Amino acid sequence: MRLVIGISGASGVIYGIRALEILKKLGAETHLILTEAARETIRLETDRNVAQVEGLSTEVHKIGDITSSLASGSYRTDGMAVIPCSMKTLSGVASGYADNLLLRAAEVTLKERRRLVLVARETPLTLIDLENMVTASRAGAIILPAMPAFYQRPKTINDIVDQVTGKTLDLLGVEHGIPTEWKGPNASKRRGKA
Ligand SMILES: Cc1cc2nc3c(=O)[nH]c(=O)nc-3n(C[C@H](O)[C@H](O)[C@H](O)COP(=O)(O)O)c2cc1C
């Protein structure tokens, strides 16, 4: 499986890092694009450095490298996630303003009718953000706000991160084994009390 992982400078870069970790473990081919703001957010929000994050991917693509394979639809992929997706990057996707490689790769994913999952992260949302989500959704993107569910009774922050990341990978057709399915109240009771 060949997937593009874009990490933008929204809060929650840990979701993108976790996606890379899971995909590496599964032996998937990952193509990573980090925005400039994502590099800063990795430093601010995590104990990893950028090189460690890049080391989780099969291939790193520079944000300004418009000659990258990912800039062309002829390079086949099985889809792309922007995880997390800032409101700025969302606006670039919605308007078709592909002035960096992440935005171009997202545009290519849409034009080739491949799956594009945007893990949007902001709160509260402006009308501009909401309208950009509608526009991107109409164009074929899946808007997956970084909103964890709690029906799996998470015990740790890692469990919460895995819930959002697992749901994103579900939508890309990845068999990852992280429990993301609600299997009814009896299954929940069997797991024990909250
Ligand atoms: C610590 C930190 C957290 C941020 N969180 C968000 C966020 O959750 N959502 C968002 O849209 N922008 C957020 N931003 C602002 C973006 O990083 C900024 O708009 C940036 O220009 C996005 O650029 P990019 O989309 O190219 O990564 C955050 C910035 C910092 C430094």
Beta carbon of 92 within 6 Å of any ligand 1 atom: no
Instruction: Give the Å distance between the CA of 2 and the centre of ligand 1.
Output: 27
Number of neighbouring beta carbons within 10 Å of residue 126: 10
Is 3 close to ligand 1, i.e. is its CB under 6 Å away? no
The CA 126 to ligand 1 mean position distance, Å, reads: 15
Say whether pLDDT at 188 is over 60: no
Mean pLDDT of the chain: 95
Q: Which residues pair with 34 in a beta bridge?
A: 7
Beta-carbon neighbour count of residue 72 at 10 Å? 12
Q: How far apart are CA 118 and CA 90, in angstroms?
A: 8
Question: Which amino acid, 73?
Answer: G
**pLDDT band for position 177 (cuts 50, 70, 90):** confident
**Biggest distance spanned by C-alpha atoms of the chain:** 54
Across the range 106-129, mean pLDDT stands at 98
pTM attached to this predicted model: 0.96
Ligand 1 and 125: CB distance under 6 A? no
Q: Which residue has the tokens 């009774």?
A: 153
30 touches ligand 1 (CB under 6 Å): no
